[in-house]
Structure 1
Amino acid sequence: MYQIVMAVDENESRALAEAETVLGLPRDPSDLHVTILHDFTNNPAGASVTQVASVRRARDRLEEAGVEVDLAESSGDPAEAILETADGLDADLIVLATRKRSPTGKAIFGSVTQTVILDTSRPVLVCRDPDE
Structure 2
Amino acid sequence: MVIVAAVDRSESTDRIVTQGRKLAEAFTGELHVVHVLSRGELRDIERASFETSGEAVEMERIKEVAREIARESAADIAPDATAVGLVGEAAEEVTDYASDHDAEYIVVGGRKLTPVGKAIFGSTTQSILLEADCPVVATLRS
- TM superposition score normalised by structure 2: 0.68
> Offset at 1:3?
0.7
CA displacement 1:61-87 (0-9 Å, x = unmatched): 112xxxx41111222211000111001
Residue 126 of structure 2 is aligned to residue 128 of structure 1: no
Q: Give the partner amino acid of 1:19.
A: V
Q: Percent identity?
A: 22
Write the distance in 1 (CA, Å) between the matches of 2:7 and 2:24. 22
SS in 2 for 1:21: helix
Partner of 1:62: 78
Matches within 5 A, 1:2-13: 2-11=1-10, 13=11
| Structure 2 unaligned residues grouped into runs of 5+ | 47-61, 114-119
Matches within 5 A, 1:1-132: 2-11=1-10, 13-25=11-23, 27-28=25-26, 31-41=28-38, 42=40, 43-44=42-43, 45=45, 47=62, 48-52=65-69, 55-63=71-79, 68-99=80-111, 111-129=123-141, 132=142
- CA RMSD in angstroms comes to 2.8
CA contact (8 A) 1:38 1:55 kept: no
How many residues align structurally? 117
SS in 2 for 1:97: strand
| Structure 1 unaligned residues grouped into runs of 5+ | none
Write the distance in 1 (CA, Å) between the matches of 2:111 and 2:32. 21
Which of the pair has more CA radius of gyration? 2
> Offset at 1:97?
0.7
Q: Give the structure, 1 or 2, with the largest relative contact order (CA under 8 Å, sep 6 or more).
A: 1
